[in-house]
Chain A
Amino acid sequence: MSHAGGQIGKGIRAAYSAESPVSWVKIPAVLDATVPSFQADDIDITTHDTSGKLKKSIAGLVAVGDVTLTCLGDFKQGDVAAYSALTNANRLGTILWFRLEIPADTTLTLFKVYEYLVTVKTASDRSPIAGRQEVEFVLKFSGDDIGIYYDQSSAIS
């Protein structure tokens, strides 16, 4: 299989669900989003029997990186239910389902999908004197596993 040659990252979609079975609520106007990362701990298993001067390691437990969503701000009450819901979830420590879709083709019909449980670690508003208003949410992995699915249609509208 050959490399597709690359494409720009525009077209990410994000959504949450407070219920299961899920009913996805779109998180709109995403300016920037970080994608979950996975980093394993280093477990040193170097012993006196290890040959040469090289250390030896195995992979330990995996830490899931936080997702940061930066969205165009809208602070009028009732305009964007998703922002209020995520802010309330931050205050209450509510666990939510989260879905992140990364475009996998240039027609934005196929996506690589991450789906897992999160808590809202940070919810913050920004209103700079000379710039656009923004809201930022940091989402922390709070489940037992992450579903990663390829070539999926979008479930977010």
Chain B
Amino acid sequence: MTIEEKVYALLAAAAGVTALVPAARIRPPGNWQNLALPYVVHFPLAPDPTETHEGRQPLTGWTYQVSCFADLYSHARAVGIAVRDALEGYHDGVHFRWTDHIHLFEPDVGTAGIHQAVEQFDVFESLSSPL
């Protein structure tokens, strides 16, 4: 299972998240501008594999970004908080550590603009095989 699939499974199973964003609107990167708001786009950044002199080890770190898109600041913020609460901590051997929150607003999207709450995590997972 990829890290994206693991994150999706956790978010789709979190009642606090799906109360605000149905699982079908939790997506990896793609052309989602026609999705109904709110929706979530999530993806890994900057892998940090553990390399020893004898080779790459299963422990892999990632910076992971979850972007929460909504029509209002308060809606985007609420989704971001729900995502943070769902992912923070240990889940089946994968450790998520919430590290950053950024808020963005794009006024030229749609009729009234779009708010984006960006939640960033440090993720550590043990892979069954190296990347």
Contacts and interface: CB of A to CB of B under 8 A. Distances in A.
B59 A10 contact: no
Interface in A122-157: 130, 132
Nearest to A32: B53
Contact of A29 (B52, B61, B97): B52
Interface string A23-51: 00000111101000000000000000000
B38 to A, nearest CB: 30
Interface of B: 50-54, 57, 59, 61, 97, 122, 124
Contacts of B124: 132
Interface of A: 10-13, 28-31, 33, 71-72, 130, 132
26 contacts: A10-B51, A10-B53, A11-B53, A12-B53, A13-B54, A28-B52, A28-B54, A29-B54, A29-B57, A30-B52, A30-B53, A30-B54, A31-B50, A31-B52, A31-B53, A33-B53, A71-B52, A72-B50, A72-B52, A72-B59, A130-B97, A130-B122, A132-B50, A132-B59, A132-B61, A132-B124
A31 B122 CA distance: 21
